[in-house]
Amino acid sequence: MDLSKHAFFEGKIVPLADAKLSIATHGFLYGTSVFGGMRSYWNEEQQRLFVFRPYDHFRRLLQSARMMAMQSSYDEESLIQLTLDLLRTDNCEYRDAWLFIRYVCVRRHALLLERREATSLRFSSL
């Protein structure tokens, strides 16, 4: 499996090796993230890569993010443009093949230290 050479991370396209999350990120610790994927296909006749229904995919992604109480400064159109920019940056043509595009939105609030008061625990059996 070939991975992309770049990622859209923290508002810009960066080399994939530079797109890193802290293990203290809320999305890592608690699974507060939403994700999806879509395919694109190379059309030999038109010599172009076509992304399959990106607006619908990103609409569902943004709906899922809202359900998780996550806010985004991007709309469907801007996410489509970012995807196309990323494909161009990676010089994606993938002749005679298809390409799977994976996208993830992660809640970024970091948890550095959590203190709790000691409490007594009660166990009961059923």
Does 89 reside within a domain?
yes
Average pLDDT, integer, range 54-76: 93
Does 126 reside within a domain?
no
Domain of 44 in residue numbering reads as 6-106
Q: How many domains does the chain have?
A: 1
Does 112 reside within a domain?
no
pLDDT greater than 50 at residue 75: yes
Does 69 reside within a domain?
yes
pLDDT of 96 reads: 58
Looking at beta carbons, which pairs linking 54-63 to residues 24 or more positions away fall under 8 Å?
54/79, 54/80, 54/83, 55/80, 58/103, 60/36, 61/34, 61/35, 61/36, 61/103, 61/105
Does 115 reside within a domain?
no
Tell me 62's DSSP state.
H
Does 80 reside within a domain?
yes
How many angstroms separate the CA atoms of 92 and 85, rounded? 10
Sign of CA dihedral 37, 74, 19, 61: negative
CATH classification of the domain holding 19: 3.30.470.10
Reported pTM: 0.79
How many angstroms separate the CA atoms of 113 and 91, rounded? 42
> How do residues 2-11 score in pLDDT, each as one tens digit?
667 888 998 8
pLDDT greater than 90 at residue 110: no
> How do residues 11-32 score in pLDDT, each as one tens digit?
899 998 998 988 888 888 888 8
Does 113 reside within a domain?
no
